Chains A and B, each alone.
Chain A
Amino acid sequence: MRNIVEIKGLSKSYFNKKALNNLALNIEEGKVVGILGPNGSGKTTLIKILTGILRETKGEVLIDGHEPGVYTKSIVSYLPDRNFLYNWMTIQDALSFYKDFYKDFNEKRAYELLDFMKLKRDMKVTSLSKGMTEKLNLTLVLSRNAKLYILDEPIAGVDPVARDQILDAIINNYNENSSMIITTHLVRDMENIFDDVVFLREGEVYLTGNAETLREEKGMQIDELYKEIFGE
């Protein structure tokens, strides 16, 4: 199977601190990959490099055969771990914005998802609660027919009801020709949707593999494995 993401010898240093250290990783097309690790393990740094808003110190990153840039931004649908929409926007403005900038935006799906998330189009983005903001951001990101989805901590800080709704939306709207990278430290809630998992520790890949195979080999759930690796 073809790789949608190819990473070789990737390092990122901040002064004397290494956020990523000679990381190598390939992600196959059509897979949902969980990048797992505690805070400070390099998850967000890796994702920022993939989305073109952070530069590597060393190494090579290719997405669909291209270095991060204008082309990769047009095929990657990115959910950052923060409120990234402009403050003046209503939900409708945000939808129009996505429609204008991304050719792969599916407006019909966006309206269906808004209904599913119980969000109204005339709401201002500044008036939304944390859970609602997360749902709106996810609606926008999942409404694109992107080749690669990158979701950074999609369920962090939202209540359990919203969490289930968000997970359902991810499962129902994911299309099999696309790939998805999800970072999380809430492994138990998300482990069932991963095909592959990558455990990151201090900027390096500690363990990687097919989620099901790992469960069989180690005789435990991914969540338990996570605790074993990082719980020392």
Chain B
Amino acid sequence: MGKYIKYEIKGSYKVILGILAIVLIASTVIQVNVRTGGFDGSRFPLVAFLFSLTIFGTFLTAFLFIVGSFRKELYEDRGYLTFTLPLTGNQIVGGKLIVAIMWFIVLGFVTLLYNIFLAKILFDIYLPFKEMFDVFNTFSKEAITFIITAFIGGVITLILIYFSMALSRVSIRNKKIGGLWFIIFLILNALVAYFNVKINGLIPYYLNLNTLEITHLKGLEYLPNITMNMNGASITMGTGEGAFIGIAGMIYNLVVGIVAFLGTGYIIENKIDL
């Protein structure tokens, strides 16, 4: 699978670098514009607004490019090379998935760090790194839980997208219907979320990540909760009280992710008709 990942990266890094370049240039234009156009928020410059749209559009393009690379294997002639390699379906899906996750992380982190350092240079802002990390430590379990849950949620969403694409390829033979995978994805996603809520309702036990105690939902009702369902897990965060993860929902989501992954691997290894 390592070799497959190598060629996936080779085939996509130029586009990703191009996207990064556009995002960084746009970020620079926005920040310089705000610096010269006033920072009091009274007249947020039009240029900055337009470049913010540019960044959004570029990220959307990146998302479609990265996710669409799996679809290309299913519908374009390159599939004749990929699917005749001596690799299992799981190795191909796994390779695609790892490279996709890697690119999303690279795009996110580079954009974030670049903007922080540019702001520091342009506005001479005091960046309280030490304090930031102290705060991070205080709420570390909440923050880490949040990051992990968001990450798992993102990965499961990606797997569901791949699964939908593979399903749409084998459901209507030899017909290329543009948005079919997206409709399948919306339906699957809705079903997954619906049963997640149901399961969390049926088995309403939450794991407190600060104390590692398991609590029934009734024991949490006093909290000023922010409840999020991020496709990865039902997570409840009370201010200062730690983070609570819906145990049944989390396990259910992991199972969904694994089943969809193996299902995609199975389809491309045993059901694909090029």
Contacts and interface: CB of A to CB of B under 8 A. Distances in A.
Contacts of A232: none
B80 A88 contact: no
Given A70-B86, A70-B87, A74-B86, A54 B77 contact: no
B174 to A, nearest CB: 8
Contacts, number: 62
A70 B273 contact: no
B80 A82 contact: yes
Contacts of A100: 3, 6-7
Q: Nearest 3 pairs between A and B by C-beta?
A: A74-B86, A84-B80, A53-B274
A71 B272 CA distance: 17
Interface of A: 14, 48, 51-55, 69-71, 73-74, 76, 78, 80, 82-89, 93, 97, 100-102
Nearest to A45: B273
Contacts of B10: 88, 93
Interface string B170-212: 0001100000000000000000000000000000000000000
B85 interface: yes
B86 A85 contact: no
Given A84-B78, A88-B11, A93-B10, A51 B84 contact: yes
B270 A101 contact: no
Contacts of B79: 53, 84
Contacts of B269: 69
B11 A55 contact: no
Contact of B77 (A14, A51, A83, A102): A83
Contacts of A102: 86
A174 to B, nearest CB: 20
Interface of B: 3, 6-7, 10-11, 14, 77-81, 83-88, 173-174, 269-274
A55 B85 CA distance: 16
B117 to A, nearest CB: 32
Given A83-B77, A84-B77, A88-B14, A53 B7 contact: no
A76 B273 CA distance: 18
Given A14-B173, A88-B11, A101-B3, A55 B270 contact: yes
Q: Which of B84, B174, B271 counts the most chain A CB atoms within 10 A? A: B84
A209 B13 CA distance: 52
A43 to B, nearest CB: 15
Q: Which of B10, B80, B85 counts the most chain A CB atoms within 10 A? A: B80
A54 B77 CA distance: 14
Contacts of B273: 53-55
Nearest to A51: B84
A68 to B, nearest CB: 10
A86 B274 contact: no
A73 B85 contact: yes
Contacts of A54: 273-274
Contacts of B88: 70
Contacts of A85: 78, 81
A227 B11 CA distance: 46
B87 A53 contact: no
A88 B81 CA distance: 14
Contacts of A73: 84-87
A89 B82 CA distance: 14
A80 B80 CA distance: 7
B271 A52 contact: no
Nearest to A152: B80
A78 B86 CA distance: 12
Given A80-B80, A83-B77, A84-B81, A53 B86 contact: no
Nearest to B3: A100
